[in-house]
Amino acid sequence: MNTIDEMDALFSRAGLPPDISFLLEKHPRAVWRQSGGLSAMGRFWLKRHNFFRELGSALNASVENLRDEAFDPVTFVQWFSPRLELLLGELEGHHHIEDMHYFPIFLAEEPRLKRGFDILDSDHHHIHDLLERNASAGRQFAGALVAGGDRMRFAADSYAVEADRLVSGLMRHLEDEEDLIVPLLIERHEDGRSLM
Ligand SMILES: [Fe+2]
Ligand SMILES: [Fe+2]
């Protein structure tokens, strides 16, 4: 699969491929909460995902509101810039820990899921590129906010395109990552072991 196909896959796939969904079929989302199979660290990891979902969505919504002229631009940039930097920095750190620490442990534990970890690893690379594009568009946007007028509107439009792309890729990735990993955590917990 080449790079463009992989990027398309992040934006076009509808979930985990069937050949790596066998643990998800056994432990579907509906039973995750009741299973008791998640450690405190596992629950913290899911909370981090929800934090990324909420912050990404809030940033997108805030840009829409600004375009509707619901905010004063200077006040907006004081709210927006630190939150964008937080999202970008925390996501980079989160992916680094997954790549270097957790994914090798999970793959060694269940080699039949290798294709799934290859997909997640590829997602991380593409999301990294999207983060860099977002950071650049976000900084241009923040600078243009002070200028106002058409310059602000153009910068808001181009930032919104990048932000939509990042958030939609991120949502897909987070859901598939959870669908691959949480059932494995529950499966091993049933054997009396904790992987996370
Ligand atoms: Fe990830
Ligand atoms: Fe993650």
Per-residue pLDDT of the chain (196 residues; tens, 9 = 90+): 445 566 678 999 999 999 999 999 999 999 998 888 898 999 999 999 999 999 999 988 888 887 777 677 778 888 888 999 999 999 999 999 999 999 999 999 999 999 999 999 999 999 999 999 989 998 888 888 878 788 888 888 888 899 889 999 999 999 999 999 999 999 999 999 999 8
CB atoms within 10 A of CB 107: 17
User: Alpha-carbon distance 98 to 104, whole Å?
Assistant: 8
Ligand nearest, relative to CA of residue 169: 1
User: Alpha-carbon distance 144 to 125, whole Å?
Assistant: 29
Instruction: State in Å: Cα 120 to ligand 2 middle.
Output: 9
| pTM for this model (two decimals) | 0.91
Instruction: State in Å: Cα 50 to ligand 2 middle.
Output: 10
Domain ranges of the chain: 3-10+18-190
- Burial of residue 193 (CB within 10 Å: 0-12, 13-18, 19+) is exposed
**The CATH fold of domain 3-10+18-190:** Four Helix Bundle (Hemerythrin (Met), subunit A) (1.20.120)
Instruction: State in Å: Cα 174 to ligand 2 middle.
Output: 6
